[in-house]
Structure 1
Amino acid sequence: MRRPRAPATFPLFNFHLVGDLVALIGLSRQEQVFVVGHDWGAIVAWNYAFSGPDRLKRCVNLSVPFLPRKQVCGEQTP
């Protein structure tokens, strides 16, 4: 069995996932939420937190050290 690999265009893929997360949480009609990310999901959770800290109660990430957006996204940082 082959191990899954990170998408080749992860910085762009990551922002698509953040957009999906914003839409999904928006459907819940909650003003603020707790977000927990693990492994690749931790980067998505951090970018969700950066995109709208007012929508976040707390952000917890596991198994991945914090990396500033520039290191994760390179020159594609919006």
Structure 2
Amino acid sequence: MKRVALLIGNANYQSAKFPNIENCKADAVLLDILLRKRGFETQLYLDQNAEQMTEIISSFFKSLDQNIEALVFYYESPLTL
């Protein structure tokens, strides 16, 4: 069975309300490496805006069929309130 993963790490925000948190990107990159070692075909995207993410996610799900094991990982940032 084919194994695929969509990984999105967003850390670069245009708002003063949300600080840039580089761990989001670093964690997504590390997960990409780990999943590739485990036999996944990965698609890694960093710092995507809402429009880009909509297209990426839509395309990813359209590419799936019954013989594909899929994983989606979205990491935007840990917020401290």
TM-score (norm 1): 0.31
Q: TM-score, normalised by structure 2?
A: 0.30
Higher relative contact order (CA closer than 8 Å, sequence separation 6+): 2
Point out the structure with max Rg over C-alpha.
Answer: 2
